[in-house]
Structure 1
Amino acid sequence: MILALTKKTSKIAPAIIGLCLLAFGLQSCKKKSRSDMGQQLYKKTNNKIFKDATPEGLEVVFKEELAKKKGSLTNPKVIAAYYESTDYDPHFVMDNIFNGDVDLTANYFQKASEHGLDPRMFKAEEIKQLVAKFKDKKAFKNINEAYAAIADLEIMMANSLINYSNALEYGMISPRKIYARYYTDTKRPDSTSMTKIFAIQNMKGFLDSIQPKSRQYLALQKALIAGGTAQGMSKEETMRYLVVNMERLRWKNKPTQEKYVIVNIPDYRLDVMENGKSKMNMKVCVGEGRNVDNTVSLVEYDESAKIDRPFSRETPQLNSMIHSVQVNPVWNIPQSIASKEIMVEAAQDPYYLENKGIDVYKNGKKVDDPETIDWNSAGKGEYEFKQRPGEDNSLGQIKFLFKNNSSVYLHDTPAQLAFNKDVRAVSHGCVRVQDPKGLARELFGDGATYDKIADLMSTPKDHPTDIGLSKKVPVYLTYVTCWVDDANTLQYRPDVYGLDVVLYLHLQKFLASHDQLATL
């Protein structure tokens, strides 16, 4: 099923800043002179009804039509504010119908399925039908009918162009609104980006310019148009994989830096990217997922699956800056792990804590004899736990630190066997890296600082050493389940966290809402 948008609340920039400067001076905040509106329309249509058309007469009807259609518009405040600033000048009708631009635009809308979008949301057919009326001498019985048609087409064009450009340039869905653990900077459309459609001088040029052009998007789009079937999937499931990942590619959340670290959670892989190419890559282990066995898939799901209910150990989607490393790290054990695992183990074995190198603190003070504590009756949060540096330390010999509110980081691990698994969603939420020394070298470069790190890792100490990264490096924890590799082969990965299903159901929700709006 192809997808569509619906009405949403839009935050309007104060006083619609910049409306008076639209169209690079072609459109002013003064009433644009259309004193010869009637003669212009009569000359273009040969319909005598239009001889009596005036800007003042149209304005009355335009206001009425705009009020009636308010509930069916996606961004009514943006549209209303713009036309109020131009005294309801019918920009698209007067300047774009008779040169073919409106029909051209409708043709682009009709091909929206090539983006995994539903052409109905852009009202391509309705636009074409209204354009045809202006070319039919008998279509209007009186001037009020003509005014209503002008207003309808003008409003429809504005609304559809905004929807279309928003969808292609920013994506239909705000990931922050549907994902519980999404902390990646993602730009969304605002009134300034929306009102640029009124300044279009070359319609075809504009429509071509907003077509996403990344190699990844074009490859997925080509596959969607071809309608092929991925191995082990049905045609419908293949299409859904492509649709959700094309939506992700439209989100404005991609790295722009020359060098960055990126982790793709479903692929269990880390890449160090530089100048658009992977300089090094390695296997990683990520947080345990709710959908490891693929019980909820793009083939079968129910309505409740659109509510994102992340498993407590899932790795979040985020971006930040790696600012330092800690060699021979101390593990400050999260309270959730302490209460569910550490205290349970300590209750069964009084020497578990000492054997694992775990110190116990109460009210900030170290407890001297933790084996004497009755862990079965100890309250949650009553104690804090820290694991000392050493061979058993869950963070291995080094951790890579970056600011985030989820207390996650990249780190080494003594549990190397996990890297031999195909499904590596096994951690408590942090990202375990297969080659931490290699990652440190890529971040710090060859030199004295890296040599110090390598030396500390080779001869482990009983205390941590913090080393700052002089030039911070961006890090992105992402979630992509379909992409094209360097050999131009489409790769598909299981939806280990069920996030594809959440996204697809929200896209379907928009389609259902659109169908309801169509009846208004």
Structure 2
Amino acid sequence: MILSNIKKKSALPMLFTLFCILALTIQSCKKKIRSDMGDELYKKTQNKVFKDATPEGLAEVFKQVLVANKGKLANPNLITSFYVQNDYDPVFVMDHIFNGDVDIISNYFEKAGQHGLDPKMFKADQIKQLVAKFKDKRGIKNLDEAYHDIAELEILMANSLINYSSALEYGMVSPRKIYSRYFTATKRPDSTSMLKTLRAQNLKAYLDSIQPKDPQYLMLQKALMGGGTAKGMTKEETTRYLVVNMERLRWKNKPKEPKYVIVNIPDYRLDVMENGHSILNMKVVVGEGRNMDNANTLIEYDESDKKDRPFSRETPQLNSMIHSVQVNPEWNIPKSIASKEIMVEAAQDPYYLSNKGIDVYENGKIVEDPETIDWGSVSKDQFEFKQRPGNDNSLGKIKFLFNNNSSVYLHDTPAKSGFSQTMRALSHGCVRLGDPQALAKVIFGDGPTYDKIVKAMSEDNPEPTTIAVPKKMPVYITYVTCWADSNGTLQYRPDVYGLDIVLYGHLQKFLANKDQIAAL
């Protein structure tokens, strides 16, 4: 016991020392107050007004200017918190005006049109005007004006830097907020990313680092700056195609896995990508859309088009993991399809159900003689329908399963004629595959499991068989209407779901006009 007490007592000085070291460390991490702020500003500006400037005097005015500007800031609470925690230290004025940094930053803001964005959003002119006052030794007349302009420039710079970096790194619009059927993990700017911007020491290096470098982005950007016109479009429509797809490329929703499956809805195509290259591609059929005749275009946009109004059969945008396949699947027919299609067909042809291999269930029990039912008069919710495996099964011989809340999957189909059509938005929402067996081979590889799948798909009296994939395969269902192909040629696709129009509606207020783009 005595020994234990001695150990405890001897540990106390050590704990106290550690506490002091920790406290000093925390204190040293905090920005030191610039006690010589007035002298430093006087030396840099040669304006005698600054001789009497103090951090305490600035802090009082800074608080007032923050309150006055709150409504103009995109992230007022974060900016306020940043300056409160740093004792209202004017880091941009003290560290970045007189070495030319702010001029460089303003040039980035002025060239935002290269990204299709309106430079006016980033207040480069206002920043330059304020900087000019600091560099003119008679530009600021008294101490109150000095404090006010320091605070004004600090807040303006902080807000513009956050807005600019967020726009380039994450995009201007959150797809989850504008699209009803968007279920792809998409990272948005948060306090960590914004504070990183404000704490950057080398601002030019930081801004260079956030410029999009994706080859696709650079090719669309080049086309935007070149001002060309796509075949069959006006110059204005071409520009709008480019800017909405550049915005999509800025979203942080891109696959990071080395190997994945990706479906592009407007292109009606699936690719399996591995290390940046397509190792398999095929035609697909996707869900019917609201704009299949391309009657609505980006040129005919009006304010009401900002609201996303999906057609009930549109395939959702999502990402998930393919975890298993079902060979010779059964089809549990959704109630909407059963009531609008299956029961209508059965009312016209009593043998339709048996010819299509569709079983009818009532209260969980199979109905023995469904052809005797008057399908034109029964309740739509009274029965359930399930299609047996076979050549007529609407899911074909195999379906690929992945978790999602929209009950969609990739699957085979007996309706092969759809793949020969140019416009292939024809399904109820799932994605029909032009070559499902090839996809199975990529996922399972050569071997006994793949051989088992091939054999089962060829059987005359098949049974449903579910097989787990050896390694879950990421799947992305996307919507891209303009991109550069492997030859660098820009490809454009009709906006079959009208999602370009919705995006443009929300993006329009942030976009550069044609004169701003042409001037760069």
Would you call these one fold, judging by a TM-score over 0.5? yes
Q: After the TM superposition, which residues 118-517 of structure 1 pair with which residues of structure 2 at under 5 Å, given as runs?
A: 118-509=118-509
Aligned residues: 488
Query: 8 Å contact 2:38–2:51 — kept in the other structure?
Result: yes
Post-superposition offset of 1:28? 5.9
Cα-to-partner distance string for 1:227-274 (whole Å, 9 max, x where unaligned): 111111111111111100000000000001111000000000000111
Is the deviation greater in 347-356 or in 246-255?
A: 347-356
User: 1: CA distance between counterparts of 2:225 and 2:461?
Assistant: 58
Is the deviation greater in 125-134 or in 346-355?
A: 346-355
Query: 8 Å contact 2:483–2:492 — kept in the other structure?
Result: yes
Runs (4 or more) in structure 1 with deviation over 3 Å come to: 25-31, 509-512
User: 2: CA distance between counterparts of 1:336 and 1:223?
Assistant: 44
Post-superposition offset of 1:137? 2.0
Cα-to-partner distance string for 1:298-332 (whole Å, 9 max, x where unaligned): 11122111110100111000000011111111011
Post-superposition offset of 1:391? 1.2
Is the deviation greater in 492-501 or in 462-471?
A: 462-471
Post-superposition offset of 1:29? 6.3
User: 2: CA distance between counterparts of 1:509 and 1:209?
Assistant: 26
Post-superposition offset of 1:126? 0.6
User: 2: CA distance between counterparts of 1:441 and 1:27?
Assistant: 60
User: 2: CA distance between counterparts of 1:31 and 1:205?
Assistant: 22
Query: 8 Å contact 1:292–1:497 — kept in the other structure?
Result: yes
Query: 8 Å contact 1:323–1:402 — kept in the other structure?
Result: yes
Query: 8 Å contact 2:224–2:242 — kept in the other structure?
Result: yes
Cα-to-partner distance string for 1:50-76 (whole Å, 9 max, x where unaligned): 111100000011000000100010011
Aligned residue type for 1:475: V
Aligned residue type for 1:425: A
User: 2: CA distance between counterparts of 1:287 and 1:256?
Assistant: 26
Q: After the TM superposition, which residues 79-90 of structure 1 pair with which residues of structure 2 at under 5 Å, given as runs?
A: 79-90=79-90
Q: After the TM superposition, which residues 22-37 of structure 1 pair with which residues of structure 2 at under 5 Å, given as runs?
A: 30=30, 32-37=32-37
User: 2: CA distance between counterparts of 1:349 and 1:340?
Assistant: 15
Q: In the superposition, relative to structure 1, how do residues 256 and 233 fare at CA in structure 2: closer, same or farther (>3 Å)?
A: same
User: 1: CA distance between counterparts of 2:392 and 2:27?
Assistant: 69
| TM-score in terms of structure 2 length | 0.92
Unaligned runs of 5+ in 1: 1-24, 513-520
Post-superposition offset of 1:511? 6.4
Query: 8 Å contact 1:28–1:86 — kept in the other structure?
Result: no
User: 1: CA distance between counterparts of 2:381 and 2:160?
Assistant: 54
Cα-to-partner distance string for 1:7-38 (whole Å, 9 max, x where unaligned): xxxxxxxxxxxxxxxxxx99966452211110
Q: In the superposition, relative to structure 1, how do residues 215 and 149 fare at CA in structure 2: closer, same or farther (>3 Å)?
A: same
Query: 8 Å contact 1:388–1:462 — kept in the other structure?
Result: no
Equivalent residue for 2:110? 110
User: 1: CA distance between counterparts of 2:65 and 2:499?
Assistant: 41
Q: In the superposition, relative to structure 1, how do residues 416 and 95 fare at CA in structure 2: closer, same or farther (>3 Å)?
A: same
User: 1: CA distance between counterparts of 2:74 and 2:41?
Assistant: 29
Query: 8 Å contact 2:182–2:318 — kept in the other structure?
Result: yes
Aligned residue type for 1:395: L
Post-superposition offset of 1:378? 2.4
Post-superposition offset of 1:134? 0.3
Post-superposition offset of 1:373? 2.4
Equivalent residue for 1:6? none
Equivalent residue for 2:40? 40
Q: What SS is found at the alignment partner of 2:359?
A: strand
Q: In the superposition, relative to structure 1, how do residues 406 and 27 fare at CA in structure 2: closer, same or farther (>3 Å)?
A: farther
Equivalent residue for 1:518? none
Is the deviation greater in 297-306 or in 99-108?
A: 297-306
Instruction: State whether structure 2 residue 95 is matched by structure 1 residue 95.
Output: yes
User: 1: CA distance between counterparts of 2:299 and 2:264?
Assistant: 23
Q: In the superposition, relative to structure 1, how do residues 410 and 250 fare at CA in structure 2: closer, same or farther (>3 Å)?
A: same
Aligned residue type for 2:82: Y
Equivalent residue for 2:61? 61
User: 1: CA distance between counterparts of 2:77 and 2:139?
Assistant: 31
Unaligned runs of 5+ in 2: 1-24, 513-520
Q: In the superposition, relative to structure 1, how do residues 263 and 80 fare at CA in structure 2: closer, same or farther (>3 Å)?
A: same
Query: 8 Å contact 1:328–1:396 — kept in the other structure?
Result: yes
User: 2: CA distance between counterparts of 1:93 and 1:301?
Assistant: 43
Aligned residue type for 2:417: L
Aligned residue type for 2:37: M
User: 2: CA distance between counterparts of 1:83 and 1:346?
Assistant: 71
Q: In the superposition, relative to structure 1, how do residues 281 and 475 fare at CA in structure 2: closer, same or farther (>3 Å)?
A: same
User: 2: CA distance between counterparts of 1:121 and 1:381?
Assistant: 54
Query: 8 Å contact 1:328–1:461 — kept in the other structure?
Result: no
Query: 8 Å contact 2:287–2:426 — kept in the other structure?
Result: yes
Q: What SS is found at the alignment partner of 1:353?
A: helix
| TM-score in terms of structure 1 length | 0.92
Aligned Cα RMSD in Å?
Answer: 1.5
Aligned residue type for 2:341: E
Query: 8 Å contact 1:317–1:478 — kept in the other structure?
Result: yes
Query: 8 Å contact 2:169–2:250 — kept in the other structure?
Result: yes
Is the deviation greater in 381-390 or in 403-412?
A: 381-390
Post-superposition offset of 1:460? 3.9
Query: 8 Å contact 1:358–1:385 — kept in the other structure?
Result: yes
Query: 8 Å contact 1:37–1:54 — kept in the other structure?
Result: yes
